[in-house]
Structure 1
Amino acid sequence: MKILVLVDGSKWSQKAALHAIAIAKKKNAKVILFSVLDRREAKAMAFSLGARSGKLDEIKNYEDRIWGEMKESINELMRDLLEFCHKEKVNCSMKLVEGIAKEEILKEANSGKYSLVVLGAYGKSGKTRIGSLLEEVAGVIKPPMLIVR
């Protein structure tokens, strides 16, 4: 059994990972921590920062810095989760890809490799309604899904 856990850096995805690890421990399953970095997010943040600061000529520098921070942040979180898996004696690995989140998640989740997909109910925005990415992928992911709140 292989469990795919979608990790986006939110507290909800961290809770989802902990649930997946608990299931994997009971079922002797393997956990794959999966995250997608979308460059468009860094571009949007850089543009916003440049517009607010009045330094539109610095947008490329802002984007590069934000992109680097995004990569480091998700890598750190995934390394921490990986370390926790190893302490719990759960077989675990991580996979980080760049692209459009919806497309990459559907490609990975529907690859035929997974028995279960686990994800948080909400994303990084922490809004009280169901996450927009979850709304986009929920009906299209083929394996059973566990949505953690």
Structure 2
Amino acid sequence: MKNMLVAVDGSEAGQKAAERALELAKALSAKITVISVAVPAPAPIHWSGTHFYYDELLERQKKQAQEIVEKYKEFFEKEKLEVTTMIKEGDPAEEINKTANSGDYYMVVMGSKGLTGIKRALIGSVANYVVQSCKIPVLVVK
């Protein structure tokens, strides 16, 4: 059975990617693996008078990523699809690419622009990296 990797981050583009992945998975009788990446801060940061340290921020990011993948797990399971989830830590582009290239996946489905705040002319930096580096097909949904 084919297995699609669906990258989500809580953005509108991620939702659209999940909707398209649902259509494809039903048509191909494919399994779904939902991935979200917790992005650690590079160093302790200061925000609005409150100090957040690396470990605390990373735990918050992992909790948020877990909530996101659980939401999409329910979304796909309502349609009777087989779903697994995974949380990675690090750079989203690198982690999605590394997972996609592990040999376990038929294709990647992801949104064109996520929550990175970086705007590009056509597609976001994470999607661009995955499209350029991935060894399997990547569907970028706008």
Band of TM-score, shorter chain = 0.7 to 0.9
Aligned residue in 2 for 1:30 = 31
Which protein is bigger by CA-based radius of gyration? 1
Q: 2:83 aligns with which of 69, 85, 92?
A: 92
Aligned residue in 2 for 1:47 = 45
Match of 2:17, SS? helix
Distance 1:11 1:126, change over 3 A: farther
User: 1:129-144 to 2 correspondence within 5 Å?
Assistant: 129=121, 130-144=123-137
TM-score, normalised to structure 2, is 0.85
Query: One-letter code of the match for 1:35?
Result: S
Deviation at 1:67, TM superposition (A): 3.0
Q: Distance in 2 between matches of 1:27 and 1:59?
A: 45
TM-score, normalised to structure 1, is 0.81
Deviation at 1:65, TM superposition (A): 4.4
Worse overlay, 121-130 or 87-96: 121-130
Worse overlay, 12-21 or 125-134: 125-134
Q: Distance in 2 between matches of 1:75 and 1:59?
A: 20
Deviation at 1:105, TM superposition (A): 1.6
Measured on the aligned residues, the alpha-carbon RMSD in Å equals 2.1
| Total equivalences in the alignment | 139
5+ residue gaps, structure 1:
none
Deviation at 1:69, TM superposition (A): 2.9
Contact persistence 2:5–2:35 (CA under 8 A): yes
Would you tell me which structure has more strand in proportion to its own residues? 2
Q: Distance in 2 between matches of 1:10 and 1:143?
A: 23
User: 1:1-149 to 2 correspondence within 5 Å?
Assistant: 1-40=2-41, 43=43, 47-49=45-47, 52-53=48-49, 58-60=51-53, 63-124=54-115, 125=117, 127=119, 129=121, 130-149=123-142
Match of 1:139, SS? helix
Q: Distance in 2 between matches of 1:107 and 1:97?
A: 10
Q: Distance in 2 between matches of 1:104 and 1:77?
A: 16
Deviation at 1:40, TM superposition (A): 2.3
Q: Distance in 2 between matches of 1:143 and 1:39?
A: 27
Contact persistence 1:25–1:89 (CA under 8 A): no
Match of 1:85, SS? helix
How far does the alpha carbon of each residue in 1:78-137 deviate from its partner, in whole angstroms, 9 at most, with x for none?
111111211101111101111232322221111111111101000112746321112222
